[in-house]
Amino acid sequence: MSNQATLSLRKDWDGGVSPFGVSYGKMFMWFFLVSDALTFSSLLCAYGFMRHKFAGDWAVPNDVFTHFPFLHGDHPLAYVGFMTFDLIMSSVTMVLAVEAGHRLNKRQVAMWLFFTIIGGFIFVGSQCWEWYHFITGEASNQQYREYWMNGKHIIDPHFQGANLIVNAYTQLPTFGDFFFCITGFHGFHVFSGVIINIIMLIMVLNGVMEKRGHYEMIEKAGLYWHFVDLVWVFVFTFFYLL
Protein backbone atom coordinates (compact mmCIF):
# COMPACT_ATOMS: atom_id res chain seq x y z
CA MET A 1 0.00 0.00 0.00
CA SER A 2 2.78 2.39 0.87
CA ASN A 3 4.34 1.46 -2.42
CA GLN A 4 1.20 2.56 -4.21
CA ALA A 5 1.11 5.86 -2.33
CA THR A 6 4.71 6.56 -3.36
CA LEU A 7 3.81 5.77 -6.92
CA SER A 8 0.84 8.14 -6.97
CA LEU A 9 2.92 10.81 -5.25
CA ARG A 10 5.58 10.43 -7.87
CA LYS A 11 2.98 10.72 -10.61
CA ASP A 12 1.54 13.90 -9.05
CA TRP A 13 4.85 15.68 -8.67
CA ASP A 14 6.63 14.34 -11.73
CA GLY A 15 5.48 17.12 -14.01
CA GLY A 16 3.01 17.15 -16.83
CA VAL A 17 0.07 17.50 -14.41
CA SER A 18 -0.86 19.98 -11.69
CA PRO A 19 -0.05 18.40 -8.31
CA PHE A 20 -2.80 20.48 -6.72
CA GLY A 21 -5.35 19.47 -9.33
CA VAL A 22 -6.23 23.08 -10.14
CA SER A 23 -5.45 25.38 -13.00
CA TYR A 24 -2.54 27.80 -12.85
CA GLY A 25 -4.77 30.86 -12.57
CA LYS A 26 -6.88 29.54 -9.74
CA MET A 27 -3.86 28.44 -7.74
CA PHE A 28 -2.29 31.87 -7.94
CA MET A 29 -5.59 33.52 -7.06
CA TRP A 30 -5.47 31.44 -3.87
CA PHE A 31 -1.86 32.41 -3.17
CA PHE A 32 -2.68 36.07 -3.70
CA LEU A 33 -5.60 35.75 -1.30
CA VAL A 34 -3.36 34.14 1.35
CA SER A 35 -0.93 37.07 1.12
CA ASP A 36 -3.81 39.55 1.28
CA ALA A 37 -5.22 37.68 4.27
CA LEU A 38 -1.84 38.04 5.98
CA THR A 39 -2.02 41.82 5.46
CA PHE A 40 -5.48 42.05 6.97
CA SER A 41 -4.55 39.73 9.82
CA SER A 42 -1.54 41.81 10.77
CA LEU A 43 -3.68 44.95 10.78
CA LEU A 44 -6.22 43.22 13.01
CA CYS A 45 -3.46 41.89 15.28
CA ALA A 46 -2.09 45.43 15.65
CA TYR A 47 -5.62 46.50 16.53
CA GLY A 48 -5.82 43.70 19.13
CA PHE A 49 -2.53 44.87 20.64
CA MET A 50 -3.77 48.44 21.07
CA ARG A 51 -7.14 47.27 22.27
CA HIS A 52 -5.54 45.26 25.07
CA LYS A 53 -3.01 47.94 25.91
CA PHE A 54 -5.76 50.54 26.43
CA ALA A 55 -8.31 48.04 27.69
CA GLY A 56 -10.28 50.31 30.03
CA ASP A 57 -10.23 53.44 27.88
CA TRP A 58 -11.43 52.03 24.57
CA ALA A 59 -14.77 53.19 23.13
CA VAL A 60 -17.79 50.90 23.48
CA PRO A 61 -19.01 50.12 19.94
CA ASN A 62 -22.63 49.91 21.15
CA ASP A 63 -22.45 53.63 22.00
CA VAL A 64 -20.70 54.71 18.81
CA PHE A 65 -22.55 53.01 15.95
CA THR A 66 -26.17 53.68 16.80
CA HIS A 67 -27.61 55.24 13.65
CA PHE A 68 -30.09 53.76 11.25
CA PRO A 69 -31.30 55.54 8.10
CA PHE A 70 -34.72 57.24 8.39
CA LEU A 71 -35.00 56.26 12.06
CA HIS A 72 -34.38 58.45 15.09
CA GLY A 73 -32.91 57.37 18.37
CA ASP A 74 -30.40 54.69 19.23
CA HIS A 75 -30.32 51.41 17.34
CA PRO A 76 -27.02 49.84 18.34
CA LEU A 77 -25.48 47.54 15.74
CA ALA A 78 -28.64 47.49 13.59
CA TYR A 79 -27.05 49.10 10.55
CA VAL A 80 -23.85 47.01 10.66
CA GLY A 81 -26.10 43.99 10.96
CA PHE A 82 -27.79 45.06 7.76
CA MET A 83 -24.40 45.53 6.07
CA THR A 84 -23.28 42.07 7.14
CA PHE A 85 -26.50 40.56 5.85
CA ASP A 86 -26.02 42.38 2.55
CA LEU A 87 -22.48 41.07 2.13
CA ILE A 88 -23.42 37.48 3.01
CA MET A 89 -26.34 37.72 0.60
CA SER A 90 -24.10 38.98 -2.22
CA SER A 91 -21.65 36.18 -1.38
CA VAL A 92 -24.46 33.68 -1.91
CA THR A 93 -25.46 35.22 -5.24
CA MET A 94 -21.79 35.08 -6.29
CA VAL A 95 -21.50 31.39 -5.44
CA LEU A 96 -24.74 30.79 -7.34
CA ALA A 97 -23.17 32.55 -10.35
CA VAL A 98 -20.18 30.21 -10.06
CA GLU A 99 -22.53 27.22 -9.87
CA ALA A 100 -24.44 28.43 -12.93
CA GLY A 101 -21.09 28.75 -14.67
CA HIS A 102 -20.41 25.08 -13.91
CA ARG A 103 -23.62 24.30 -15.82
CA LEU A 104 -22.50 26.63 -18.68
CA ASN A 105 -25.72 28.60 -18.24
CA LYS A 106 -24.86 32.07 -19.56
CA ARG A 107 -28.17 33.73 -18.71
CA GLN A 108 -28.11 32.65 -15.06
CA VAL A 109 -24.43 33.59 -14.62
CA ALA A 110 -25.20 37.10 -15.86
CA MET A 111 -28.28 37.37 -13.62
CA TRP A 112 -26.52 36.28 -10.40
CA LEU A 113 -23.48 38.43 -11.21
CA PHE A 114 -25.77 41.41 -11.64
CA PHE A 115 -27.31 40.80 -8.19
CA THR A 116 -23.82 40.49 -6.72
CA ILE A 117 -22.83 43.86 -8.18
CA ILE A 118 -25.98 45.46 -6.73
CA GLY A 119 -25.14 43.99 -3.30
CA GLY A 120 -21.58 45.30 -3.59
CA PHE A 121 -22.78 48.82 -4.39
CA ILE A 122 -25.20 48.73 -1.46
CA PHE A 123 -22.33 47.75 0.81
CA VAL A 124 -19.97 50.48 -0.44
CA GLY A 125 -22.77 53.04 -0.10
CA SER A 126 -23.54 51.85 3.42
CA GLN A 127 -19.92 52.22 4.37
CA CYS A 128 -19.89 55.80 3.06
CA TRP A 129 -22.97 56.50 5.16
CA GLU A 130 -21.37 54.89 8.20
CA TRP A 131 -18.19 56.93 7.78
CA TYR A 132 -20.20 60.13 7.35
CA HIS A 133 -21.98 59.60 10.67
CA PHE A 134 -18.78 58.53 12.40
CA ILE A 135 -16.98 61.66 11.20
CA THR A 136 -19.75 64.20 11.84
CA GLY A 137 -20.98 62.36 14.92
CA GLU A 138 -24.50 63.18 16.01
CA ALA A 139 -24.72 60.55 18.74
CA SER A 140 -26.16 61.78 22.04
CA ASN A 141 -23.63 59.93 24.15
CA GLN A 142 -20.43 61.63 23.10
CA GLN A 143 -18.47 62.69 26.13
CA TYR A 144 -14.93 63.67 25.22
CA ARG A 145 -14.97 67.38 24.52
CA GLU A 146 -11.41 67.89 25.82
CA TYR A 147 -8.26 66.80 24.10
CA TRP A 148 -4.59 67.59 23.69
CA MET A 149 -3.47 68.96 20.38
CA ASN A 150 0.00 70.35 19.54
CA GLY A 151 0.87 70.33 23.23
CA LYS A 152 -2.16 72.42 24.18
CA HIS A 153 -5.12 71.32 26.26
CA ILE A 154 -8.26 72.23 24.32
CA ILE A 155 -11.78 72.25 25.71
CA ASP A 156 -14.33 72.46 22.93
CA PRO A 157 -17.95 71.97 24.06
CA HIS A 158 -19.14 71.80 20.47
CA PHE A 159 -16.69 69.12 19.33
CA GLN A 160 -18.40 66.07 17.83
CA GLY A 161 -17.48 63.12 15.71
CA ALA A 162 -14.03 61.86 14.84
CA ASN A 163 -10.99 62.43 12.69
CA LEU A 164 -7.46 61.06 12.60
CA ILE A 165 -6.23 63.27 15.45
CA VAL A 166 -9.12 63.40 17.92
CA ASN A 167 -12.50 61.79 18.41
CA ALA A 168 -15.38 62.33 20.76
CA TYR A 169 -15.91 58.67 21.59
CA THR A 170 -12.72 58.11 23.58
CA GLN A 171 -9.59 60.04 24.45
CA LEU A 172 -7.49 57.74 22.27
CA PRO A 173 -6.88 58.88 18.69
CA THR A 174 -5.89 55.26 17.91
CA PHE A 175 -9.56 54.26 17.98
CA GLY A 176 -10.39 56.51 15.03
CA ASP A 177 -7.13 55.72 13.25
CA PHE A 178 -7.70 51.98 13.30
CA PHE A 179 -11.33 52.36 12.30
CA PHE A 180 -10.48 54.51 9.28
CA CYS A 181 -7.49 52.38 8.29
CA ILE A 182 -9.05 48.93 8.46
CA THR A 183 -12.61 49.65 7.31
CA GLY A 184 -11.16 51.91 4.61
CA PHE A 185 -8.80 49.20 3.41
CA HIS A 186 -11.66 46.72 3.40
CA GLY A 187 -13.97 49.16 1.62
CA PHE A 188 -11.31 49.64 -1.04
CA HIS A 189 -11.25 45.86 -1.52
CA VAL A 190 -15.04 45.77 -1.85
CA PHE A 191 -14.90 48.56 -4.40
CA SER A 192 -12.26 46.81 -6.51
CA GLY A 193 -14.28 43.58 -6.18
CA VAL A 194 -17.31 45.38 -7.63
CA ILE A 195 -15.17 46.66 -10.51
CA ILE A 196 -13.87 43.13 -11.17
CA ASN A 197 -17.44 41.79 -11.11
CA ILE A 198 -18.58 44.45 -13.58
CA ILE A 199 -15.75 43.45 -15.94
CA MET A 200 -16.78 39.80 -15.54
CA LEU A 201 -20.41 40.68 -16.33
CA ILE A 202 -19.37 42.51 -19.50
CA MET A 203 -17.20 39.55 -20.53
CA VAL A 204 -20.05 37.09 -19.91
CA LEU A 205 -22.54 39.20 -21.86
CA ASN A 206 -20.07 39.49 -24.75
CA GLY A 207 -19.79 35.71 -24.84
CA VAL A 208 -16.07 35.55 -24.02
CA MET A 209 -16.55 32.68 -21.57
CA GLU A 210 -18.84 30.85 -23.97
CA LYS A 211 -16.08 30.90 -26.58
CA ARG A 212 -13.61 29.49 -24.03
CA GLY A 213 -15.97 26.69 -23.14
CA HIS A 214 -15.71 27.20 -19.38
CA TYR A 215 -16.59 29.83 -16.77
CA GLU A 216 -13.51 29.54 -14.58
CA MET A 217 -12.93 33.29 -14.67
CA ILE A 218 -16.17 33.70 -12.68
CA GLU A 219 -14.79 31.25 -10.14
CA LYS A 220 -11.61 33.31 -9.70
CA ALA A 221 -13.54 36.57 -9.35
CA GLY A 222 -15.80 34.71 -6.93
CA LEU A 223 -12.80 33.69 -4.81
CA TYR A 224 -11.86 37.36 -4.45
CA TRP A 225 -15.42 38.35 -3.62
CA HIS A 226 -15.77 35.64 -0.96
CA PHE A 227 -12.46 36.73 0.49
CA VAL A 228 -13.86 40.25 0.90
CA ASP A 229 -16.83 38.75 2.73
CA LEU A 230 -14.46 36.68 4.89
CA VAL A 231 -12.51 39.78 5.93
CA TRP A 232 -15.73 41.59 6.76
CA VAL A 233 -16.78 38.75 9.07
CA PHE A 234 -13.64 39.39 11.12
CA VAL A 235 -13.82 43.20 10.93
CA PHE A 236 -17.46 43.01 12.02
CA THR A 237 -16.53 40.91 15.06
CA PHE A 238 -13.50 42.86 16.20
CA PHE A 239 -14.75 46.39 15.53
CA TYR A 240 -18.46 46.27 16.16
CA LEU A 241 -19.15 43.36 18.49
CA LEU A 242 -16.23 43.13 20.90
In the complex, minimum distance from the CB of residue 33 to other proteins, in angstroms, rounded to a whole number? 8
Q: Inter-axis angle of helices 106-136 and 173-205, to 10 degrees? A: 160
Minimal distance, residue 128 CB to other proteins, in Å: 22
Only one of the segments 24-32, 135-143, 145-153, 195-203 lies at the binding site for other proteins (rule: CB under 8 A); that segment is: 24-32
77 sits near other proteins (criterion: CB under 8 A): yes
Residue 87: is it exposed, middle or buried by C-beta count within 10 angstroms (0-12/13-18/19+)?
buried
Query: Is the Cβ–Cβ distance between 99 and 218 less than 8 Å?
Result: no
Count the residues of the shown chain that bind other proteins, applying the rule CB under 8 A.
64
Pick one of 16, 73, 151, 157: the residue that binds other proteins (CB under 8 A).
16
CB 63 within 8 A of CB 141: yes
> Which residues contact residue 240 at a Cβ distance below 8 angstroms, ignoring those fewer than 6 apart?
61, 65, 77, 80
CA 158 to chain centre: 33
Residues at the interface with other proteins (CB under 8 A): 12, 16-23, 26-27, 30, 34, 37-38, 41-42, 45-46, 48-55, 62, 76-78, 81, 84-85, 88-89, 91-92, 94-96, 98-100, 102-104, 212-214, 216, 219, 222-223, 226-227, 229-230, 233-234, 237, 240-242
